[in-house]
Amino acid sequence: MRPFPLTSLADNVREDDSFAFPGPVGRPISFSIVAMSQAVVSESFEHTGTSGVSHEGGREFEYRPVPVSAPVSLILGLCSAMSLLTVAGVPVAFFGLVIGAAALLKIARSGGEFGGRKLAIAGLTLSTLFFVTGIGKQAYAYATEVPEGYARTNFTYDIAKKGFVQKNGVGAFHDDVAALDGQKIFLKGYMYPTNQTRNIQEFIFCKDSGECCFGGQPALTDMILVRMGEGQTVDYFQGLISVAGTFHLNASGGGADLSPVYSLDATHWAISSSAF
């Protein structure tokens, strides 16, 4: 049913057009059609709000769209709490920081068109907090994890990549690696998996997990035979570990598939507290 055009009614009726009805005491009750129609039209406009505004209980609520980056920054901020447990949480916190800052900038430049400022602030705050805390935790662990009297040595760059050299037509250890013979060093790497997983007294120590987890044959320069001290045993761990001990060259090694040319008489073994 089509609505009756009240405004047309008001335009076509003269102001002096009115009706009279007998009142309860014989007095006529009259009203103007124009006045009535104008009142109805006026009331209809009063109840028609602007787009995005709601009137409830005499209070005005304004609804504004929220950019996707605002809640995303909050989610990343919450997820970045894992930086307290693993270094993998640090890049998550960094992305949350960037997205939170971008969300705040977008909201600020919108001139009030976008909402979600509190979400973006919360996400940015959490991401910044856990980013700084995660970096600080890693830095502290790195500075304190080497036992006293041992030198930090990078397995990849200080040993594995040095390889072998030719001296008088004969293969020999690189001078830099030979200089480590008999030295107390601290290394990080991975345990090569074998059938034994508990109470291990010696194991093959590899420079990276690629050679361990996929069953590849490590190169001679990429593995070290680690022997634990008297009465010391360890359990197999798949992740990054730290070992410290006295480094030795084993010129007679390399004859079998897993016969390293390097060995380490270990005094310390631990799950690595830092990722570097």
> Of 23-27, 30-34, 197-201, 225-229, which range is least confident?
30-34
Tell me, what's the pLDDT at 133? 97
User: What's the rounded mean pLDDT across residues 122-132?
Assistant: 97
Same domain, 127 and 98: yes
Residue pair 138/274 in contact by the 8 Å Cβ criterion: yes
Structure tokens at 42: 């006026």
Q: Tell me the C-alpha distance between 176 and 243, whole Å.
A: 20
Mean pLDDT of the chain: 81
152-194 residue pLDDT tens:
999 999 999 998 888 888 888 999 999 999 999 999 999 998 8
Within 8 A by CB and 6+ apart from 228, the residues are 200, 201, 202, 234, 266, 269
Overall number of domains in the chain: 3
134-153 residue pLDDT tens:
999 999 999 999 999 999 99
Q: Give residue 210's region: left, alpha or beta (phi > 0; psi -120 to 50).
A: alpha
Tell me, what's the pLDDT at 170? 82
58-82 residue pLDDT tens:
455 567 899 999 999 999 999 999 9
CATH of the domain at 254: 2.40.50.870
Same domain, 139 and 167: no
Same domain, 191 and 232: yes
Asked if the structure places residue 37 within a domain, the reply is yes
Same domain, 196 and 216: yes
pLDDT of 38 over the 70 cut: no
Same domain, 157 and 137: no
pTM of the entire structure? 0.68
Instruction: Label residue 250 by pLDDT band (50, 70, 90).
Output: confident
Domain final residue, candidates 100, 119, 144: 144
> Residue 128: what are its φ and ψ, rounded to 5°?
-65, -45
74-120 residue pLDDT tens:
999 999 999 999 999 999 999 999 999 999 999 999 888 999 999 99
Identify the residue with better confidence: 54 or 246. Answer: 246
Range of the domain at 127: 69-144
